[in-house]
Chains A and B, each alone.
Chain A
Amino acid sequence: MLEAVDLECVRGDRPLFSHLSFRLKPGELMHVTGVNGSGKTTLLRTLCGLTHAAAGEVRWNGSTIHELGDDYRSQLAYVGHSNGIQGELTAEENLRAACLGTAADTTRIQETLKRLGLAPYRHFPSKVLSQGQKRRLALARLAILRKSLWILDEPLSALDVNSVVLMTEILMEHLARDGLIIMTSHQEIDVETKTILQIQLD
């Protein structure tokens, strides 16, 4: 369970939001919306522990994420604005590197690449992939790492219609496995689940 208590974030001297509290239970999805510059990315990075909150705290199963440290990070998968793909490496090598030695199961990598339509480009350096293909490769990491908390910043940007459908499927499977998802998106997301938390930043 992920909990935010009285969270306040400041960028430079500009306060973005304050007194933000929510509680996200397994199997739930949180959809963060807001205009450009309203602090969506900052909120997501704060929840990851990359950015420090000006006030308040983030708790995972009751303990603050800074206490948990690596134990929290072992539950977390984050896909940010930048895809986290090294252009010189092939799709497969990128995924293997993202696993950092843990559970780098070759068959699972092959299956995921196939499912996301990246199998034909397996042996090309990732820098030749299109923007949408790179995005798919970044999202493939989620399926391979099998973490319980997914924090996704605009996961559907640059994706074509079919990929959006496929991604929605993957999100739903994750929720069905009692995973947690926090995502920002300007599009409506068509995910069937018991609970969707909506947070609007302004």
Chain B
Amino acid sequence: MPNFLKAIGCLLRRDLTVALRRSTDVLTPLVFFIIVVSLFPLGLGPEPSVLRTIAPGVIWVAALLATMLSLNRLFANDHADGTLEQMALSPHPLTVLVLTKVAAHWMLTGLPLVLISPLLAVQMNLPESAMGTLVLSLLLGTPVLSLLGAVGAALTLGLRGGGVLVSLLVLPLYTPVLIFGAGAVAGVIAGIDIEAHFSLLAAFLALALTLAPWAAAAALRVSLD
């Protein structure tokens, strides 16, 4: 269905163009991520062994919070100016359009976090052998964070104090990703076999990819009612 793919391409380009013209929105989570991770060596003192132990957890928690910070941007602007309404009335399945919006969100939030993480890992004295695992775990984990976040953002759309509510809604769903993501990196440092961690992260991604867009689309229809 070429029309269908054209619609996806059109929406993706639109979202990326808007984000580039509002670059502060894109930079905020990234700067937050860098600041949080950078504060730990300052607060705890530059003891290399301590930093190495906490590095996986700190980087993962910071990535999770940075993603959460960007969630209300996902639908709120489009809701306020009425473009979301138009999207819901377009002849394309809303599920696919939501998935496209999430993909754009991940490219602008998750991907920059993944790309900058090796630099922060060096700062946290993470051994070189764990670097690949960190990047790979974030690469698998951050799309899950965006997908689950979309459901929370859609449910709290247009509510007062939606920002706090969305954190409460998605945090329980984020914890497994955090546990296995940070666990994989810590496992490599400790020399444990981490295949299971990656299998589970990939399973979360597969599950979120199939269910989250559908749930978020249903939630959007309710929010627009």
Contact = CB atoms under 8 A, between A and B. Distances in A.
A96 interface: yes
A123 B21 CA distance: 14
Interface string B75-87: 0011011110110
Interface stretch (A81-89, A111-119, A192-200): A81-89
Given A86-B83, A97-B11, A100-B7, A50 B91 contact: no
B93 interface: yes
A80 interface: yes
A73 interface: yes
Contact of A102 (B7, B17, B225): B7
A86 B18 contact: yes
Contacts of B5: 101
21 contacts: A50-B225, A51-B225, A52-B225, A70-B91, A71-B91, A74-B91, A76-B89, A80-B85, A82-B80, A84-B86, A85-B83, A86-B78, A86-B81, A86-B83, A89-B18, A93-B14, A98-B86, A100-B90, A100-B92, A102-B3, A102-B7
- Is the contact region of chain A dominated by helix, strand, or loop, or is it mixed? loop
B10 A100 contact: yes
Interface of B: 3, 5-11, 14, 17-18, 21-22, 77-78, 80-83, 85-86, 88-93, 224-225
Contacts of A100: 6-7, 10-11, 90, 92
Nearest to B88: A50
Chain A contact patch, size range: 20 to 34
A181 B101 CA distance: 31
B186 to A, nearest CB: 42
B92 A70 contact: yes
Contacts, number: 82
B135 to A, nearest CB: 32
Interface of A: 48-52, 70-71, 73-74, 76, 78, 80-89, 93, 96-102, 104, 125
B82 A102 contact: no
A52 B222 CA distance: 10
Nearest to A103: B3
Contact of B14 (A48, A51, A85, A97): A97
A130 B130 CA distance: 55
A83 B82 contact: yes
Nearest to A100: B7
A43 to B, nearest CB: 14
